[in-house]
Structure 1
């Protein structure tokens, strides 16, 4: 774990650059959070860029989902969204400059030729890679340009020497240039490749600090060499370890929900998700629960873990339960009403559910669970038949009927309902569980609730009386 990082001296500018080929992944959301918090901690700027050069797979639906997820998390950006496909002229301008100064060149090798080249390298026991056949060199005679072949443009990577950087997370990393070949930076259709476009973007946008997943470590030497070829200032890189699923493998769609939007739909609160994501790879002492404002005040780029973090659904639920418990009841009522409507239940007034949320929220890890509890107030209930048969005995039925009659005439307040229950217990010589459990089953559809008077008073009187009398 890194305990200290060099503190910036100029204006900090960070970015998040998701590809719109799907949802905003939890790993990308964590990277966005760290980038955002670092910029906010230092009074800098945070930029959102959409890396949409994968034209075949990028969709507008994905763009909208990414923007919605960022909005839900509250990760506001100072610039953007900036779309790479709207910057093609700029990439071409830089390509032309590189071709002119010899740091890039056109390559006319066909895919078939490259496949044959790699097979021959394998047969000789060599490491596979581009052999530089179209790379200009003093005294070298290049092949004749084939007709009808659109070239790619390759970066003329340095042939020797090392690339070294001091990673904000991993520490010093060195890769020899002989380990990497001449990268394609522009496809035949004129669209730039990732490793080139990201450098031009970060250069133009004056990005000072790049946080991203450690799957990009192998891309970094190419990018650093391109920065140097352009005479551009290098940002500082911080490569974050992957998030592992509960099975110890990389978190993926095949093994559970990995889209931020999934968790919004399941009833998690954004402040809980931010708190939990922050702790997946970063810590501030032993603090487990903290506000986003606290995180911003603490997040200076230190204490970032070098080893992978493991997703723990139970821990996330615990964190979310804390935030649900302390959430404003009016806010919860609007979220619960949305869940209930999604299930086909009619909710006339969101605000009317606020007292219900206040009573039940301590029992819930998510607003979806809270909606499940409150569904008994907006739709009919069906008690479990076996429980009802066991608890609503012939000896208890007269007491339930008597309670229903009493409730018709009392003030509809919890103390009066409580007294009616006590009077009924005294009349029939019963103990509280003997009456309260069948009452809960009949009215609420379940045997466990908060105190029965507190649960009943939130119903309309007629609903309670009708449900008590229905099975008597």
Structure 2
């Protein structure tokens, strides 16, 4: 009434939805709330956090990562939901993955830990960035991949991979070593030779190689692994699956 009497514009009032944790209770420190400092320490990009926050209780037509101007222009009170919104860290990781694909090489390098950068050979930096953009959500995961790819540290083989390696048998790995020795820099030629000599194909071909290369069933493309791991290290990892007499 006062604003009307003063002939001033009337504001439009609205409130955003209540935010719940993954357990369905109001979000708090007890059920997953994170401070800005914690998000920064975990390596989340500001744009990833903002894209999640903007969509908590609000609908955007675009499902793509949006910059601040696009988020601002796309906001409308009509798109605010009435139901409580749920904070899900998997959604945050989704926006983080999209942000990682968009940041510049310089920003990505600054995001990586110093000890990670120390491990990366200069000539492998561009390919390793591709691996990080497609397979990591935080600098700690990137460091784990750098250790797997660029050092001779002994790693634990996942149970699923070990089972597939055992099923492949020693002959498979002998053929793999021969193919790797003949084609140290050509993954296509390596794979073609291994297919021909071992008779393996599909999962029976790819998964035993993953078991030897990294001990993991997931991660970068096999071609990327083959070109990033030093040939002598890769051949030694294949030889691990031979009996000591060989």
Check if 1:275 corresponds to 2:51. yes
Question: How does 1:328-367 map onto structure 2 within 5 Å?
Answer: 328-335=104-111, 337-338=112-113, 341=115, 347-349=118-120, 352-359=124-131, 361-366=133-138
Question: How does 1:404-423 map onto structure 2 within 5 Å?
Answer: 404-412=177-185, 416-423=186-193
Name 2:61's counterpart in structure 1. 286
Q: Within 1, Cα distance between the matches of 2:196 and 2:178?
A: 15
CA contact (8 A) 1:246 1:312 kept: yes
Superposed CA deviations along residues 314-373 of structure 1, whole A, max 9, x for unmatched, are 3322222222233335533443x32x84xxx68344864441231453345555545544
Check if 1:468 corresponds to 2:238. yes
Name 1:265's counterpart in structure 2. 41
Q: Cα distance 1:330–1:409, how it changes in 2: closer, same or farther (>3 A)?
A: farther
Q: RMSD of the TM alignment (CA)?
A: 3.5
Identify unmatched segments of 5+ residues in structure 2: 1-9
Any idea what SS the aligned residue of 2:228 has? coil
Check if 1:383 corresponds to 2:148. no
Counterpart among 5, 8, 13 of residue 169 in structure 1: 13
Name 2:101's counterpart in structure 1. 325
Q: Within 2, Cα distance between the matches of 1:240 and 1:390?
A: 51
CA contact (8 A) 1:169 1:304 kept: no
TM-score (norm 1): 0.41
CA contact (8 A) 2:179 2:193 kept: no
Counterpart among 176, 194, 206 of residue 403 in structure 1: 176
Greater Rg over alpha carbons, structure = 1
Counterpart among 404, 416, 424 of residue 194 in structure 2: 424
Any idea what SS the aligned residue of 1:434 has? helix
Question: How does 1:191-210 map onto structure 2 within 5 Å?
Answer: none
Q: Within 2, Cα distance between the matches of 1:404 and 1:361?
A: 30
Which deviates further from its counterpart, 377-386 or 365-374? 365-374
Q: Cα distance 1:259–1:353, how it changes in 2: closer, same or farther (>3 A)?
A: farther
CA contact (8 A) 1:440 1:446 kept: yes
Q: Within 1, Cα distance between the matches of 2:164 and 2:73?
A: 57
Q: Cα distance 1:274–1:386, how it changes in 2: closer, same or farther (>3 A)?
A: closer
| Higher relative contact order (Cα pairs below 8 Å, separated by 6+ residues) | 2
Name 2:227's counterpart in structure 1. 457
More strand by share: 1
Identify unmatched segments of 5+ residues in structure 1: 1-165, 171-238
Superposed CA deviations along residues 215-273 of structure 1, whole A, max 9, x for unmatched, are xxxxxxxxxxxxxxxxxxxxxxxx65653323343321111142122223333221111
Aligned residues: 229
TM-score (norm 2): 0.73
Superposed CA deviations along residues 401-434 of structure 1, whole A, max 9, x for unmatched, are 233244234352xxx2221232132123333533
More helix by share: 2
Name 2:3's counterpart in structure 1. none
Tell me by how many angstroms 1:436 deviates.
Answer: 2.8
